[in-house]
Amino acid sequence: MTAPVLVDGKGKKNIENLVSATRSLKASLEKSRALGFALQKAGSRLEEISQRLPTLEAAVRPIRADKEALVAVGGHINRAVGPAAAVLKVFDAVHGLEKSLLSDPRNDLPGYLSVLKRMEEALRFLGDNCGLGIQWLEDIVEYLEDNTVADEKYLGSLKNSLKKLRDLQSDEEKTELDGGLLNAALDKLENEFRRLLTEHSVPLPMSSAASVSDQACIAPSPLPVTVIHKLQAILGRLIANKRLERCISIYVEVRSCNVRASLQALGLDYLEISVSEFNDVQSIEGYIAKWGTHLEFAVKHLFEAEFKLCNDVFERIGLDVWMGCFAKIATQAGILAFLQFGKTVTESKNDPIKLLKLLDIFASLNKLRLDFNRLFGGAACLEIQNLTRDLIKRVIDGVAEIFWELLVQVELQRQNPPPLDGAVSRLVNFIIDYSNKLLSDGYRPILTQALVIHRSWKKEKFQEALLVGEVTNLVKAIEQNLDTWIKAYEDSTLSNFFAMNNHWHLYKHLKGTKVGELMVDKVKEHEQYKDYYAAVFLRDSWSKLPSHLSREGLIMFSGGRATARDLVKKRLKTFNEAFEDMYKKQSNWVITDRELREKTCQLIVQTIVPVYRSYMQNYGPLVEQDASSSKYAKYTVQNLEKMLLSLFHPKPLRYSSLKVRQTSGKFSNGAADHRRSNSMVL
């Protein structure tokens, strides 16, 4: 155990000081700890305050700005905010129209157009005032920036927003002001425009095709007046929004389709025929006749109606617009196909029938001349005008070329042999009929007009006497051909038969005709020639047969009955042989004209049958009792007469065109001229 330490008074005092210092140090440590904790907590608050200082600085910056700038900024802001607020108010009004503009216009077209007009006015206001509002906002931003009244970051944000607004002012972006609502409304109007046209465009009934008259037929408007007024109202709004071309496109599409539907019911496939698809004009003669009727129907009923309707619908816009619209409809509907068909005919091989068909085409075009000039006379119809002029020129050139070549072609036919059956030459038949047609009331005026025009192009005059002279020259040429062909037969009987046949044809088909009136003396000559050759024909052929039935040696049976029977047999046999030879030869001969055929057969019957009847009555019994009687009494009177009356009937023949060809022998002359015939076939 340790002994206690004794402390004196001085030491005791030191201990007390030490304890006091310890306590003081301990208290200081506690305060330091508390202060450290407090400092740690204040650090985060200071950092937060540090981050907020720039904002606070920007907020109090206007307080530091120049007093005059601060006073003026309020006025600038008010002037800028006023227009901007008005623009926003109108913008809200635009979107208030959305429901009405997205509805169907057909339910209330006037109301729809009224709302659309308000929409356009609002957009114009926005377009006009947005720029002003933006300009004023840009001015206040510039003022704030110049006077350091606002924070740079804030000003930068304002500038970006204003730039976007400025970009919207460009033409390409103006539609964005309404979010595409105007375009949607205009599309609906276009659809309504198409609907009105489509629902009221009905193909013309084909019963009207038969009612085409010689007088001009002004067709009524194919759309009701109320519909036209609606179309005009729609056009007004669409044109105001630069959609005229789209309206025209819709109109042309619908109306041209309607015209095509009317024309297709006529069966116009023939318009597409090409030259390579037919041999000559005769093979499409029926199509050419249809062409004239169909073209007149198309022009007077269909295109006339479209012309009037285009004027009714587009008249407020201007002549050029509606004429251009009509030109597109006519072109797309098929007017060019009609003109192309006419051109195709002009490109076919030349022949006389083609001349008549060209005259038919010219007559149709001439009949519609005033209509063509009125309907297709505008600048917009230039293509139609050019094709029409080209067609007319081709037609007139073709008419003149063929007409002046006809005489040469007839002369070239002279070298060809005559018909083997003695019938009327097909060339004689054709040329006489053809000449009468050329001088008929139907063809003579139009042929004269065509030849006058053709001569005028050459600065030459044409007298109608030239036409008459050329036609009569054709007849004279065919008469010369006939004289040549009569001499060409080796069989004189056939030659006379042919001459009788053809002179009768010339007489009958010239008498009382336009051509015959110009050649009265010639017509009389043909009648006389016919009678002459008929008499010679009978004299040299059938009139010889009765002589075989002579009664010489049979009177009173002077030689006895047996001798008489033998004589009758011999004479009947000779008669039968002569009759059969002549009948066989002439059974292939032809008289086409029924009157001449019956008259000729009657003359033959009168020449043969009475003599044969009398002979058989008197001497027939001599041979009828003989076992071989059928060899001699071969024909009854009735059978003989029936056979004679059956002569000269036409045989069915296949059609073949008359072609110029070169032959040998007595028909070989004119070879040089033959080369010229390649341009036309008779």
Q: What pLDDT is recorded for position 1?
A: 45
Nearest to 94 by CA among 184, 189, 169, 192: 184
Q: What pLDDT is recorded for position 143?
A: 61
Nearest to 431 by CA among 391, 472, 375: 472
Q: Based on the fold, state whether residues 75 and 50 are members of the same structural domain.
A: no
Q: What pLDDT is recorded for position 7?
A: 43
Assign residue 318 a region (left: φ > 0; alpha: ψ between -120 and 50; beta: otherwise): left
Structural domain harbouring 607:
546-650
Which of 23-37, 43-57, 554-568 has the least mean pLDDT?
43-57
Nearest to 522 by CA among 483, 470, 465, 479: 479
Q: Based on the fold, state whether residues 577 and 619 are members of the same structural domain.
A: yes
604 CB burial (10 A radius; 0-12, 13-18, 19+)? buried
Res 37 pLDDT > 90? no
Distance from C-alpha of 520 to C-alpha of 114, rounded to nearest angstrom: 83
Q: Which band of pLDDT confidence, cut at 50, 70 and 90, is reported for residue 353? A: very high
Q: What pLDDT is recorded for position 506?
A: 97
Q: Based on the fold, state whether residues 486 and 563 are members of the same structural domain.
A: no
Res 356 pLDDT > 80? yes
Q: Based on the fold, state whether residues 231 and 99 are members of the same structural domain.
A: no
For 258-299, how does the pLDDT look when each residue is reduced to its tens digit (9 = 90+)?
999 999 888 999 999 988 887 788 888 889 999 999 999 999
Q: Which band of pLDDT confidence, cut at 50, 70 and 90, is reported for residue 599? A: very high
Res 583 pLDDT > 70? yes
- Contacts of residue 44, defined as CB under 8 A and 6 or more positions apart, other chains included, come to none
Q: Which band of pLDDT confidence, cut at 50, 70 and 90, is reported for residue 411? A: very high
Q: Which band of pLDDT confidence, cut at 50, 70 and 90, is reported for residue 372? A: very high
Which of 61-65, 75-79, 141-145, 242-246 has the least mean pLDDT?
61-65
Distance from C-alpha of 404 to C-alpha of 392, rounded to nearest angstrom: 18
Q: What pLDDT is recorded for position 421?
A: 95
Q: Based on the fold, state whether residues 527 and 586 are members of the same structural domain.
A: no
Res 629 pLDDT > 60? yes
Q: Based on the fold, state whether residues 162 and 226 are members of the same structural domain.
A: no
Q: Based on the fold, state whether residues 615 and 527 are members of the same structural domain.
A: no
Q: Once rounded to an integer, what is the mean pLDDT over residues 651-679? A: 38
Nearest to 375 by CA among 385, 367, 365: 385
Q: Which band of pLDDT confidence, cut at 50, 70 and 90, is reported for residue 112? A: confident
Res 21 pLDDT > 80? no
Q: What pLDDT is recorded for position 167?
A: 66
Q: Once rounded to an integer, what is the mean pLDDT over residues 122-128? A: 62
Asked if residue 672 is part of any domain, the answer here is: no
Asked if residue 439 is part of any domain, the answer here is: yes
Which of 203-217, 258-272, 398-412, 566-580 has the least mean pLDDT?
203-217
Asked if residue 667 is part of any domain, the answer here is: no
Which of 178-182, 327-331, 539-543, 622-626 has the least mean pLDDT?
178-182
Q: How many distinct structural domains can be found in the chain?
A: 5
Asked if residue 347 is part of any domain, the answer here is: yes
Amino acid at 638: Q
Q: Once rounded to an integer, what is the mean pLDDT over residues 217-244? A: 83
Output the average pLDDT for the chain.
80
Q: Once rounded to an integer, what is the mean pLDDT over residues 522-546? A: 96
Asked if residue 382 is part of any domain, the answer here is: no
Q: What is the DSSP letter of 650?
A: P
Q: What pLDDT is recorded for position 9?
A: 55
Q: What pLDDT is recorded for position 475?
A: 96
Q: What pLDDT is recorded for position 580?
A: 95
Q: Which band of pLDDT confidence, cut at 50, 70 and 90, is reported for residue 566? A: confident
Asked if residue 566 is part of any domain, the answer here is: yes
Q: What pLDDT is recorded for position 673?
A: 36
Q: Which band of pLDDT confidence, cut at 50, 70 and 90, is reported for residue 68? A: low
Q: Based on the fold, state whether residues 227 and 372 are members of the same structural domain.
A: yes
Res 61 pLDDT > 70? no
Q: Once rounded to an integer, what is the mean pLDDT over residues 641-654? A: 86
Query: Are the C-beta atoms of 243 and 326 separated by less than 8 Å?
Result: no
Q: Based on the fold, state whether residues 152 and 187 are members of the same structural domain.
A: no
Res 125 pLDDT > 80? no
Q: What pLDDT is recorded for position 6?
A: 41
What does the DSSP assignment read for 270-323? GGG--GGG-SSGGGGHHHHHHHHHHHHHIIIIIIHHHHHHHHHHHTTT-HHHHH
Q: Based on the fold, state whether residues 352 and 239 are members of the same structural domain.
A: yes
Ranked by mean pLDDT, the top range of 114-123, 509-518, 652-661, 670-679 is 509-518
Q: Which two tokens stand for residue 191?
A: 């659809």
Q: What pLDDT is recorded for position 539?
A: 96
Q: What pLDDT is recorded for position 279?
A: 75
Asked if residue 600 is part of any domain, the answer here is: yes
For 164-217, how does the pLDDT look when each residue is reduced to its tens digit (9 = 90+)?
666 655 554 444 555 577 788 888 899 999 999 999 988 877 654 444 444 344
Q: Once rounded to an integer, what is the mean pLDDT over residues 593-603? A: 96
Structural domain ending residue among the three candidates 527, 542, 557: 542
Q: Which band of pLDDT confidence, cut at 50, 70 and 90, is reported for residue 136? A: low
Nearest to 227 by CA among 194, 271, 197, 188: 197
Which of 390-394, 548-552, 610-614 has the least mean pLDDT?
548-552
Q: Based on the fold, state whether residues 327 and 236 are members of the same structural domain.
A: yes
Q: Once rounded to an integer, what is the mean pLDDT over residues 622-639? A: 82
Q: Which band of pLDDT confidence, cut at 50, 70 and 90, is reported for residue 218? A: very low
12 CB burial (10 A radius; 0-12, 13-18, 19+)? exposed
Q: What pLDDT is recorded for position 575?
A: 94
What CATH number does the domain containing 240 carry?
1.20.1310
- In this predicted model, which residue has the larger pLDDT, 487 or 134? 487
Helix (H, G, I), strand (E, B) or coil at 489: coil
Q: Give the start-end residues of each E strand in 183-232.
A: none
Distance from C-alpha of 40 to C-alpha of 31, rounded to nearest angstrom: 14
Q: Once rounded to an integer, what is the mean pLDDT over residues 33-37? A: 65
Q: Once rounded to an integer, what is the mean pLDDT over residues 398-421? A: 95
Q: Based on the fold, state whether residues 196 and 160 are members of the same structural domain.
A: no
- In this predicted model, which residue has the larger pLDDT, 495 or 625? 495
What CATH number does the domain containing 640 carry?
1.20.1280.170
Asked if residue 523 is part of any domain, the answer here is: yes
Distance from C-alpha of 263 to C-alpha of 206, rounded to nearest angstrom: 9
Query: Are the C-beta atoms of 434 and 359 separated by less than 8 Å?
Result: no
Res 668 pLDDT > 50? no
